[in-house]
């Protein structure tokens, strides 16, 4: 069972660590455990739930939906290389939407801006 670690931006110590199931949505886990991760719509339109994910196997690549790309683009968070497609580098510097990201098979650290 993978572990999800929530680490607010600028913090040294994690806010919490929780065991999760592969396939769980990162935002759902945060909400269930009352992690103060800012969010509003819960469905990929507002861009308030931006996170940066760190996990084993990086750097790799990840395919994002056009909706996630377009919302992050509208928020001004993508450079030209990310705007060009939906296959992105999967690195801790890649912005993602917590409401679009699912937990994989390995532990993951979620870097986020606390409310």
**Residue 19 to residue 3: CA distance in whole angstroms:** 4
Q: How many CB atoms lie within 10 A of CB 74?
A: 12
Pull the structure tokens for residue 80. 């030209």
**Residue 69 to residue 56: CA distance in whole angstroms:** 23
Least distance CB 50 / ligand FES (angstroms): 8
Residue 62 interacting with ligand FES (CB under 6 A): no
Number of residues that bind ligand FES (CB under 6 A): 14
Q: Which of residues 2-61 bind ligand FES (CB under 6 A)?
A: 39-42, 44-49
**Residue 111 to residue 94: CA distance in whole angstroms:** 11
Pull the structure tokens for residue 34. 């009352």
Residue 95 interacting with ligand FES (CB under 6 A): no
Least distance CB 41 / ligand FES (angstroms): 4
Residue 97 interacting with ligand FES (CB under 6 A): yes
Q: Choose between 99 and 108: whose C-beta lies nearer to ligand FES.
A: 99
- The owner of tokens 């690549």 is 61
Residue 102 interacting with ligand FES (CB under 6 A): no
């Amino acid at each position: 069972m993978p572990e999800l670690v929530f680490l607010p931006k600028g913090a040294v110590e994690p806010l919490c660590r929780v065991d999760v199931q592969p396939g769980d949505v990162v935002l759902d886990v945060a909400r269930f455990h009352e992690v103060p991760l800012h969010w509003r719509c819960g469905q990929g339109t507002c861009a308030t739930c931006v996170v940066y994910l760190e996990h084993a196997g990086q750097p790799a690549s990840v395919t994002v939906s056009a909706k996630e790309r377009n919302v992050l683009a509208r928020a001004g968070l993508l450079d030209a290389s990310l705007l060009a497609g939906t296959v992105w580098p999967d690195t801790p510097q890649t912005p993602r939407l917590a409401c679009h990201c699912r937990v994989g098979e390995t532990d993951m650290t979620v870097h986020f801006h606390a409310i």
